[in-house]
Amino acid sequence: MNKQYKILHIEDSPSDAGLIAHALKKSGINFTVKIVETRDDFINGLKSFNPDIILSDHSLPQFDSMEALSIYNQSGCEIPFILITGSVSEEFAIRSIKEGADDYILKSNLMRLPAAIQQALKTRQIEAEKRKANIELEETHKELNTFIYKAAHDLRGPLCSIMGLANVAELDGEKENLPDYIHKISESTHKLDTVLISLINVMSIKDTKPLIKEINFEALLNKILNRLKYTDGFNDIKFNYTIDTKRSVFSDEFILNAILFNLIENAIIYRNASQDDAFINITITNLESGILLEIQDNGIGMEKEIHDQIFDMYFRGNLYSSGPGLGLYIVKNGVKKLGGTITVKSDVRKGSLFTVNLPATTVSVQ
């Protein structure tokens, strides 16, 4: 055990406390200890000392282990609670375990204490991982239900438009109206294609293992901007990008493409149309710890109150939102898949700055 554990020890006998500390030191456990004797000191210790382990004598003059266990349970702590006592009946031992204690040790058998602590720590860690996995599973299930419902709705909208326009065009005998119908069908088809691409990106990022290869950022950005050049407002924006990658960078090109494409498209869509000097700055920098991606614009920006919501599935922050509402959700999942982090700074009418940090453990820099 290399970690230094903080032990909150309920004990009124200095000699017993010394024997217990000696047994732990002899086993190689690295620890600091805070000894408390009263109920108030125990409560304060839980709050201020923030212990990793609780050891408790059974009976003190004004306090006992069952009261300590009750306080511990009410506190919501998820750390090992081990009872250490001079003697204990089988009934009491069973009761203490049922009440939430991880183990009980006789003071006459302290050699078992280090192993009991290690086992309790391992068990608690496994339980915490299970709880985390269950929470993530519940969130994924809820997210999947929302995803399926909204996907079906978003697909049906343009599909119905295409079917309706095709029927009207077929019934309309005037040939001069056909170009208008074809244009409207084309717009609906484009919307349908946009939704399908977003759905494919979401599922591909979630379900596919990253394929690591060397990244040519200049070629990747040129490809992205070429795809976006027909986006409304593209020609009104000055694009500036700086690529500082003196060393080779290895990552998943598909995921990086999805991250950069959606961040840049987002900046184009939410440009400030009244500005003559609209810009989008794209900066890619090698760091010792990995790589830094920054997308900055001087667009319409957004209120601070929604910064934590913009990466949610189908979230639309304002009336200008017209897409499927999956762009920043795709970005968030792509960054998570690569083990990175993303932050946003934005002010209304001043613009936004999205910063993506991808660690060297995922983005291999050589």
Per residue in 277-288, pLDDT (tens digit) is 999 999 999 888
Fold for 210-366, please state it. Heat Shock Protein 90 (3.30.565)
Mean pLDDT of 333-352: 94
Mean pLDDT of 68-81: 91
Enter the tokens of residue 101.
């204690």
What does CATH list as the number for 5-130? 3.40.50.2300
- CA 355 to CA 340: how far, in whole Å? 10
> Is 90 exceeded by the pLDDT of residue 33?
yes
Which of 116-155 are b and which e, b meaning 16 or more Cβ less than 10 Å from the residue's Cβ?
A: bbeebbeebeeeeeeeeeeeeeeeeeeeeeebeebbeebb
Q: Are 311 and 346 in contact (CB under 8 A)?
A: no
**Is the four-CA dihedral 60, 61, 67, 71 of positive or negative sign?**
negative
Q: Are 74 and 43 in contact (CB under 8 A)?
A: no
Ranges of CATH 3.30.565.10 domains, the chain: 210-366
The predicted structure's pLDDT at residue 184? 86
Task: Give me the residues paired with residue 297 across strands.
Answer: 280, 352
Enter the tokens of residue 259.
């991250």
> Is 50 exceeded by the pLDDT of residue 365?
no
Q: Could you say which DSSP state residue 102 is in? A: S
Enter the tokens of residue 207.
């379900």
The predicted structure's pLDDT at residue 17? 93
Mean pLDDT of 30-56: 94
Per-residue confidence band for 317, with pLDDT thresholds at 50, 70 and 90: low
Per-residue confidence band for 323, with pLDDT thresholds at 50, 70 and 90: low
Place of tokens 């690569």: 338
Per-residue confidence band for 366, with pLDDT thresholds at 50, 70 and 90: very low
Task: Give me the residues paired with residue 226 across strands.
Answer: none
Residue predicted with more confidence, 156 or 266:
266
Full-model pTM = 0.58
356 three-class SS: strand
> Is 60 exceeded by the pLDDT of residue 131?
yes
> Is 60 exceeded by the pLDDT of residue 194?
yes
Residue predicted with more confidence, 56 or 319:
56
Range from 120-124, 201-205, 334-338 carrying the lowest mean pLDDT = 201-205
Ranges of CATH 3.40.50.2300 domains, the chain: 5-130
Strands (DSSP E) contained in 31-71 are: 31-36, 53-57, 59-60, 63-64
The predicted structure's pLDDT at residue 318? 63
Residue type (1 letter), 297: D
